[in-house]
Chains A and B, each alone.
Chain A
Amino acid sequence: MGEFFVSRFSCPRAAAENRNHPHSNVAPATPKELITTKNVHVDQALKTPQFYLLWEILCLNVTAGIGVLGQASAMSQEMFHGSITPVAAAGFVGLLSLFNMAGRIIWASTSDFIGRRNTYMVFFLLGILLYAAVPTMAEIGSVALFVLCYAVILSMYGGGFATIPAYLKDIFGTRFVGAIHGRLLTAWSVAGVLGPVLVNYIRQYQIEHGVSNADAYTVTMYIMAGLLFVGFLCNVFMRPVREHHHMNAREAEA
């Protein structure tokens, strides 16, 4: 248990030490956990559990965010029937896009200071709390808190997308990070289908079983929180790539 906490808290230090060389390729003097100085070949990366954990992490983070973004207009109007007009709902979608954009800059920059894994820990834990809180915000009729919850959620959706290349670099090294990132983006494609489909089908199922339009998103929000919990577990299980996956000196020179 002690080792668990020690290893968790070593990440920010490692990130901070890397920060001391922002414009150089100089590796930190003492490489820390989850920030490798070695390289993993793209074909070899696909044989590591880390690649699939990162795939799940990205997929689950994006599924939750894109599902909401795709349905934000209809959802806000149905959850606040009468108080949010179609014009205001369009403004809501625009606002979410702004937070999506800002999140990419702010969260990715934050990850340089607190570490990639810790950043995703924040995404998943805070995301679970916010998704679980959304139905309550709608129930008490607070538009401001509802908007705030979704604004932070969407900032983390953008942040997750922006931080993943750096997370990949930390785990697999720089040499093939572009190719590995390309393969990892299949997770985004899957999430792009999964998110809106989940939100739509669960909503439709709820309505067909007599749930009112305003309450039809409640279960969806709890399911999204559940997905984020799975993502959180994937992030907890992230470990450095085993040495036999690293490129040796001869391969690195080729």
Chain B
Amino acid sequence: MAATAQSPNKMKLILAWCLVGIPLIWGIVQTIKNALKLFQ
């Protein structure tokens, strides 16, 4: 019972982290790529 109740919450949690995490990681990668031009 508890496991079925937790499952949708876990999915929502993963989805929420993806919504935040993917743009964040993309932004960090782009920033680091730009910053590397400092050392070229």
Interface membership of B38, Cβ < 8 A? yes
Q: Which of B30, B33, B35 contacts A92 (CB 8 A)?
A: B35
Is A91's CB under 8 angstroms from B38's CB? yes
| Bound complex: CA A91 to CA B32 (Å) | 7
| Bound complex: CA A239 to CA B11 (Å) | 48
Interface membership of A16, Cβ < 8 A? no
What 1/0 flags go to B15-40 for Cβ under 8 Å of A? 00000000000001011111111111
Tally B residues with Cβ within 8 Å of A. 12
| Bound complex: CA A15 to CA B10 (Å) | 33
Q: Which of A87, A143, A144 contacts B34 (CB 8 A)?
A: A87
| Bound complex: CA A88 to CA B37 (Å) | 5
Q: How far is the CB of B5 from chain A (nearest CB, A)?
A: 22
Q: Which of B30, B31, B32, B38 contacts A143 (CB 8 A)?
A: B38
Most buried by B among A87, A88, A91, A143: A91
| Bound complex: CA A144 to CA B35 (Å) | 11
Binds B, one of A94-102, A116-124, A133-141: A94-102
Residues of B contacting A144 in the complex (Cβ-Cβ under 8 angstroms): 39
What 1/0 flags go to A82-112 for Cβ under 8 Å of B? 0011011011101101100000000000000
Closest to B24 in A: A101
Is B34's CB under 8 angstroms from A94's CB? yes
Is B31's CB under 8 angstroms from A147's CB? no
Is B39's CB under 8 angstroms from A143's CB? yes
Is B38's CB under 8 angstroms from A147's CB? yes
Residues of A contacting B28 in the complex (Cβ-Cβ under 8 angstroms): 98
Q: How far is the CB of B8 from chain A (nearest CB, A)?
A: 25
Most buried by A among B30, B31, B38, B39: B38
Is B39's CB under 8 angstroms from A95's CB? no
Is B37's CB under 8 angstroms from A95's CB? no
Closest to A80 in B: B38
Residues of B contacting A94 in the complex (Cβ-Cβ under 8 angstroms): 30-31, 34-35
16 CB < 8 A contacts A-B? A85-B37, A87-B37, A88-B34, A88-B37, A88-B38, A88-B40, A90-B34, A94-B34, A95-B32, A95-B35, A98-B28, A98-B31, A98-B32, A143-B38, A144-B39, A147-B35
Interface residues of B (CB under 8 A from A): 28, 30-40
5 closest Cβ pairs, A-B complex = A91-B34, A94-B31, A95-B35, A91-B35, A88-B37
Q: For the A-B complex with A88-B34, A90-B34, A143-B38 known, give 19 more contacts whose Cβ atoms are closer than 8 Å.
A: A84-B38, A85-B37, A87-B34, A88-B37, A88-B38, A91-B31, A91-B34, A91-B36, A92-B35, A92-B38, A94-B34, A94-B35, A95-B31, A95-B34, A95-B38, A98-B32, A143-B39, A147-B35, A147-B38
